[in-house]
Amino acid sequence: MDAEPLNDVPPDATPPPGPGLDDVPRRRALGGAATLLGAVALGAAGAFSIGRPPASAASRPPESYPPTHWIPASSANYTVSGRPGAYPVEYLVIHVTEETFPDTVKIFKDPKSKVSAHYAVASADGYVAQFVRERDIAWHAGNWDYNTRSIGIEHEGWVDRPEYFTDALYRSSARLAAAVCARYGIPADREHIIGHVEVPGSTHTDPGPYWDWDRYLELVTGHLTPGG
């Protein structure tokens, strides 16, 4: 996520600076990694499911999308728009949260955060939450031009901990990415499905060296192939 959220907002907006996901103080010691993995990557998503809302009819994406659950971000954390009429949707930006899924939800719902993404995918089971409608502009890329022309997908985990990039996470995210590509005519290639690190002016490294781009794009294109 963005350490400088003001780069995300429209040029004429002047919200007070607030933390992005990378700015939230770390509450976990690296020495507790094994415990955290057991609690989150291998099971905390199941515990979090108790409070997970179902998708409403008003917010449910088209049928080609994976099961997607509407958890609205604070209206202070995105820009209302009318895409693709107002702006073309040309890119998908792949992020890694550097937070647990429950903490990501809290950040997106906090009006002081000034950060959001359209979707987030949980590590343990591939649960997909939608926080911002695709027609609206999420503040995720750290670049206003790219925000206006992209869909942001967050993935629960840390860039230096590949155990969070589970099969369930890859498969759910790829199905989501394929549906977005099909909906807007976005080519499913590395010129149009990019990492946060590749956004011009980005100071971030996500999704990092352990993200398997070859596997991910193979899964995405598989969904776009008839019978895939």
- Which residues neighbour 89 within 8 Å (Cβ) at sequence distance 6 or greater? 83, 134, 149, 150, 151, 180, 184, 186
Exposed/middle/buried for residue 27 (C-beta within 10 Å: 0-12, 13-18, 19+): exposed
DSSP labels, 40-83:
TTTTHHHHHGGGPPPPPTTTPPPTTSPPEEE-PPPGGGEE---T
Contact 77, 188 (CB under 8 A): no
CA distance 180 to 91: 9
Q: What is the CA radius of gyration of the chain?
A: 16
- In the chain, what's the furthest Cα-to-Cα distance? 49
For the annotated catalytic residues, the residue numbers are: 154
> How many CB atoms sit inside 10 A of residue 126's CB?
22
Contact 8, 137 (CB under 8 A): no
> How many CB atoms sit inside 10 A of residue 193's CB?
24
Q: Which two tokens stand for residue 75?
A: 């209206």
